[in-house]
Structure 1
Amino acid sequence: MDTFLRLRPPLASHTGEVPFLRVSSDKPETTVTLQTPLSHSRSRASNDAQVLQFSRVLQDTCTQADVFLTAILPKVLAFVQDGTDGLVFAMGVTGSGKSYTMFGDDGIAGIVQMTIWALLKLTRSLSDDIPAGGEALVDRLEAIQKNTLVHGAITMTLAELYNEKFWDLLHPGTAPLSLKRSRHAGVEACQIAGLDHLPIRSTSETCHTVQQACLNRREYATQANNTSSRSHAILTFHLNGHALTLVDLAGSERQKQAGTHGARLGEAGRINLSLMAVGQCLEALKVPGEGRFPARQSKLTELLFDGRFWSSSSTAIKKVAMLMCIDPTRFYDENVQMLKYATDANQVRANSRLGRPKLSNHAIQGKELELVERLCRSTSQQESTRSRGQSSFEIRQDSDGEEVDQTLDYWRDLATHLLAERVTVENQIREELMDEAERMMAAMERRHRQELAELRDMYEKQMDAKVDLLEASTASLTLQPVQINTLDMKGEHRIKR
């Protein structure tokens, strides 16, 4: 799969800091060098630089249009021209610029707005409503449009995954939605059921709708980010039976830096848990086909790692890309973990065959959910057999399917909640241990400094005593006066004359 690393320009408050991630001088387009900061405790143990490779490194001088042309446009063309299902997800630490990259801000369009304009341009000969900051796309799209023009109605869905529940951002206030599995192009696909499909007819109208829908997304201020997204946003374009999905993942964070408490701390635990599940799936995909695949650790991985994008049995060429956003001056530890996910993704080939889905050994809910599912379905079968006979089992199973799914969702949410709490507690304990270790190191340093100061004072006192003794012995010495016989000297002088 394609991996794109985007470096965020340093904040005004961090302009003078030395970045821990630098673009390599020999291969600036594809490699970066990771150097542990001197102020970090790890720098004392190992100060070796690591060279990391990606499909493309987007430096901090790259514009939104540069990001779109490099990372997104090939997926858009494959989606429109070849009918290829595409997936692009932005990942990174909180405050690294993911949401800005995906959705832009008031003055500059993000890749979502540019994708909307490009899709309409390629399907309906649209020539106006150019998104802000997308002027550089005009010549490129017009050249492509001369050779390719696909007709079809484009629709869009926009959802968020908040606390392991899906919500329709186009229709806030509705009930949470569930995942639905179906067969798509010969493979099993997973999608959010019940989302409203919005027809795309105008760039400006659609972009305005997206902007208003994003206001319904859960965002709160933390010490690390004034507008921290507390949910994953999933935007999908549909055209002629195919889908192009753009995902803005919530940023990982540590309680110590973010200063989260209460509900915000619980949200952070679930976010970190789902991102960890994504990382474990990417690690498993490096060696595809070995063992079972941990796709059901969270609803996020169930949605992202389904058969449409990863099954090698599909005849279509799949397009999957990761857009890793990094702030190279802040949050070294968290960014190191994100970079590991990105390097794992760089070693993954799309169309990797997934093993049988399972929950990872790191997840406590694996056996429990499997047991609950088996018990629920067994109970449904027994009740159906007793009431209507064995021949009516299939009808009974269909009628009870919704109840069974709700039961499974309940137990899955409960297990996820428990695991999120465990991860949160583990993070708190780890941070407390690190703080205690730092306090112990500081106390040892203070003690050593005090001992050195005492030794210095002792040596100075000894030296002062020796100096005083020397001065005293010198003062006790009596100088014998020397008398000169001036008469003899005068007589001797006369003789010489």
Structure 2
Amino acid sequence: MAALNSSETVRVIVRCRPMNQREIDLKSQTIITMSTQLNHVMLEHIEQNNEPPKQFTFDAVYPVDSITENIYADSVFPLVESVLEGYNATVFAYGQTGCGKSFTMQGINTPGSLQRGVIPRSFEHIFEASSVAAGTKYLIRASYLEIYNESIRDLLGKDVKATLDLKEYADKGVQVPNLSWHQCTSVVECERLMDKGNKNRATGATLMNKDSSRSHSIFTILTEMCTRSELDGKDHIRAGKLNLVDLAGSERQSKTHAEGERLREATRINLSLSALGNVISALVDSHSKHIPYRDSKLTRLLQDSLGGNTKTLMIAAISPAHDNYEETLSTLRYANRAKNIKNKPHINEDPRDAQMKLLQEEINRLKQELINTGGVTRGGNQLLAFDGTVG
């Protein structure tokens, strides 16, 4: 393993969406003002005239006319670049239900759209980099899971309703042992996996959002890179992991009027988000001796992203409408605490259980079998791809 780098804080940005039709119909007033030069967010409480606006400062702010292309270029691009160097990185979207988290992460998934989401742009970024990197072999795999009612489900598995367990390893941290991983050789394959997972994801209608996500989702891209060293003639493997997290939205029953199953879902969502908030608070409290990661499946899965070996970006999504004042204030306070979390990312070099290494060993075994059985060679060398097929 490479030596630990100095710690770095979680990067936090805020995006404000335009008024939606519901807010327009309610004749909502705008209470958000943003300064992109100073990265300030001003929140006005119009029902309390004597109360001065609350001001927050973040790493970047994106007003109602912002486009995802710029958000990606400014704030996400450097993280994905670090994944290609062998770091772990996490991008997660947080905010009230209906505030544009899924829009930012998934976006308008058509080529050339300025509002193409963070997840499909990450696919393009990784495969474009792998196609031009001379002398480096890539193995790219993806998984997609959701946490629904505090149960983990594989959105790409044979049985999407089956629940999976978490397991914590001393050397690898928290893992989902039976989660399916899918090898990808193109952007199109990644997009197909994303579309398949999205169709299996739990969603439902509420008064605040007709397509409300009822689960937290994590799309993970694992990139292994193998480079032959000119110094020792050996293969050196680095592994970078990118977690793309679309959290379910916090919500109030008084606004959504949720009942029955929707109310139970909302209760679970709010409890897990509260657990996440408690972890963030404990991490930034110098007197805290215990970080309550074990209070929810979400915080256990994000354990390495909050205070661990990961470069992390939080995208806080907010509404500009005055009737969402309390929820917006809560989101901004939540995000303001998160920017003080310190992580200690380092490059993952030569992981002992790297899939690429296992595949290479299988290739070498197949080569030997071909030689032993008189298999056809090309110029004295058998050429094989990482999937074990003859090249």
Task: Label 1:309 to 1:94 Cα distance change in 2 as closer, same or farther (>3 A).
Answer: closer
Deviation at 1:18, TM superposition (A): 2.3
Higher normalized strand content (fraction of residues): 2
Q: Does 1:50 align with 2:54?
A: yes
Q: Contact 1:94–1:252 (CA<8 Å) still a contact in 2?
A: yes
Partner residue of 2:314 out of 317, 322, 347 = 322
Partner of 1:158: 144
Task: Label 1:293 to 1:343 Cα distance change in 2 as closer, same or farther (>3 A).
Answer: same
Partner secondary structure for residue 250 of structure 1:
coil
Partner of 2:328: 335
Give the TM-score normalised by the residue count of structure 1: 0.60
**Inter-partner Cα distance in structure 2 for 1:265 and 1:150:** 50
Deviation at 1:150, TM superposition (A): 4.7
1:216-231 superposed matches below 5 A:
216-231=200-215
Amino acid at match of 1:321: L
Q: Contact 1:87–1:309 (CA<8 Å) still a contact in 2?
A: no
Partner of 2:307: 310
**Inter-partner Cα distance in structure 1 for 2:307 and 2:284:** 12
Q: Contact 2:109–2:117 (CA<8 Å) still a contact in 1?
A: no
Give CA-to-partner distance per residue, 1:331-364, whole Å, 9 cap, x none.
2212211111100012222239xxxxxxxxxxxx
Partner residue of 2:39 out of 12, 15, 30 = 30
Q: Contact 2:311–2:343 (CA<8 Å) still a contact in 1?
A: yes
Partner residue of 1:74 out of 73, 78, 81 = 78
Deviation at 1:208, TM superposition (A): 2.4
Amino acid at match of 2:145: A
Amino acid at match of 1:284: A
Amino acid at match of 1:208: R
Deviation at 1:189, TM superposition (A): 1.3
Task: Label 1:344 to 1:200 Cα distance change in 2 as closer, same or farther (>3 A).
Answer: same
Q: Contact 1:85–1:309 (CA<8 Å) still a contact in 2?
A: no
Deviation at 1:13, TM superposition (A): 4.6
Q: Contact 2:306–2:341 (CA<8 Å) still a contact in 1?
A: no
Partner of 1:84: 87
Amino acid at match of 1:310: G
1:186-201 superposed matches below 5 A:
189-201=173-185
Q: Contact 1:122–1:150 (CA<8 Å) still a contact in 2?
A: no
Partner of 1:263: 261
Amino acid at match of 2:180: D
Partner of 1:20: 31
Amino acid at match of 1:21: I
Amino acid at match of 1:153: L
**Inter-partner Cα distance in structure 1 for 2:92 and 2:335:** 12
Partner secondary structure for residue 291 of structure 2:
coil
**Inter-partner Cα distance in structure 1 for 2:312 and 2:146:** 20
**Inter-partner Cα distance in structure 2 for 1:115 and 1:10:** 28
**Inter-partner Cα distance in structure 2 for 1:122 and 1:209:** 20
Partner secondary structure for residue 153 of structure 1:
strand
**Inter-partner Cα distance in structure 1 for 2:306 and 2:280:** 13
Higher normalized helix content (fraction of residues): 1
* Equivalent residues, number: 314
Deviation at 1:290, TM superposition (A): 3.1
Partner of 1:122: 129
**Inter-partner Cα distance in structure 2 for 1:349 and 1:291:** 15
Give CA-to-partner distance per residue, 1:113-148, whole Å, 9 cap, x none.
1101111111123xxxxxxxxxxxxxxxxxxx7xx8
Partner residue of 1:95 out of 93, 98, 111 = 98
> Considering only aligned residues, what root-mean-square deviation do their CA atoms show, in Å?
2.1
1:432-447 superposed matches below 5 A:
none
Amino acid at match of 1:118: H
**Inter-partner Cα distance in structure 2 for 1:173 and 1:84:** 30
**Inter-partner Cα distance in structure 1 for 2:202 and 2:118:** 21
Partner of 1:371: none
Partner of 1:355: none
Amino acid at match of 2:147: L
Partner of 2:120: 113
Q: Contact 2:89–2:242 (CA<8 Å) still a contact in 1?
A: yes
Amino acid at match of 2:65: T
**Inter-partner Cα distance in structure 2 for 1:243 and 1:232:** 19
Partner of 2:192: 208
Partner secondary structure for residue 215 of structure 1:
helix
Give the TM-score normalised by the residue count of structure 2: 0.76
Higher RCO (CA 8 Å, separation ≥ 6 residues): 2
Amino acid at match of 1:237: I
Task: Label 1:28 to 1:9 Cα distance change in 2 as closer, same or farther (>3 A).
Answer: farther
**Inter-partner Cα distance in structure 1 for 2:286 and 2:122:** 31
Task: Label 1:351 to 1:290 Cα distance change in 2 as closer, same or farther (>3 A).
Answer: farther
Partner secondary structure for residue 301 of structure 2:
helix
**Inter-partner Cα distance in structure 2 for 1:104 and 1:150:** 31
Partner of 1:350: 343
Amino acid at match of 2:99: S
Give CA-to-partner distance per residue, 1:283-339, whole Å, 9 cap, x none.
111135731111111111111123x6524xx6xxx3111110111115221221111
Partner of 2:220: 236
Partner residue of 2:64 out of 50, 60, 77 = 60
Deviation at 1:204, TM superposition (A): 2.0
Q: Does 1:169 align with 2:155?
A: yes
Q: Contact 1:163–1:231 (CA<8 Å) still a contact in 2?
A: yes
**Inter-partner Cα distance in structure 1 for 2:135 and 2:263:** 49
**Inter-partner Cα distance in structure 2 for 1:78 and 1:100:** 24
Give CA-to-partner distance per residue, 1:170-218, whole Å, 9 cap, x none.
124352101121244xxx5112221111111121232122112201100
